[in-house]
Amino acid sequence: MAWDEWEQLKADAAARGSTQMQLNQFPADQGQGSPGGAASADLKSGKRAWAKAGEDVKGLKDGIGKALTTLENGQAGLGDTSGCQSAAVQKELYDSWKKYVTGVSSRCGVLGGLLEQAGHDLAKPDSALKQELDALKVKYQDTEAVGGQVKGK
């Protein structure tokens, strides 16, 4: 696409006027439906749906636990890694994955609990729930990659 054509497309869009999108509120009354800011009759939230979502997320911990056990069993018998460079790298990789997978499991437990609690606290303001989710994001920031990095360089 030539630069002039791009500039023409932008100018045409600007001439039509900008339509702003706002997703955090219902549009003003347009003669039908709910008045501006009122809840839509089609939007329903139920305690059971939130509780089920929370249970399902917490249920992910079972599969993660099994995977971690398999990972641990695969490391059995590795022994002293000082004499073998590849064994030392394998141990380092195992340690990093164990830490990461343990964190994912913990995150599933906490997030599942939050979802279940949201079902119980449907009257709780969105800002309070967002604050809890933001705290979860900070607590479980992804770890830096450690595998494949050359040490000392």
By CB neighbour count within 10 A (0-12 exposed, 13-18 middle, 19+ buried), where does 115 fall? Answer: buried
pLDDT at 27: 56
Tokens of 94: 């195992």
pLDDT at 144: 61
Tokens of 71: 């990972």
pLDDT at 82: 79
By CB neighbour count within 10 A (0-12 exposed, 13-18 middle, 19+ buried), where does 108 fall? Answer: buried
Residue ranges per structural domain of the chain: 47-75+91-139
Q: Nearest CA to 118 among 74, 57, 61, 68?
A: 57
**Token pair 């040490």 in the structure block, residue:** 151
Tokens of 4: 């002039």
Q: Nearest CA to 112 among 94, 85, 142, 136?
A: 136
What string of pLDDT tens digits covers the 153 residues of the chain? 567 777 788 787 777 765 665 556 655 555 554 444 455 566 566 778 888 888 999 999 888 989 889 888 888 877 777 778 888 888 888 888 888 888 889 999 999 988 888 777 765 677 777 887 788 788 777 656 555 555 554
pLDDT at 34: 46
DSSP character at residue 13 = H
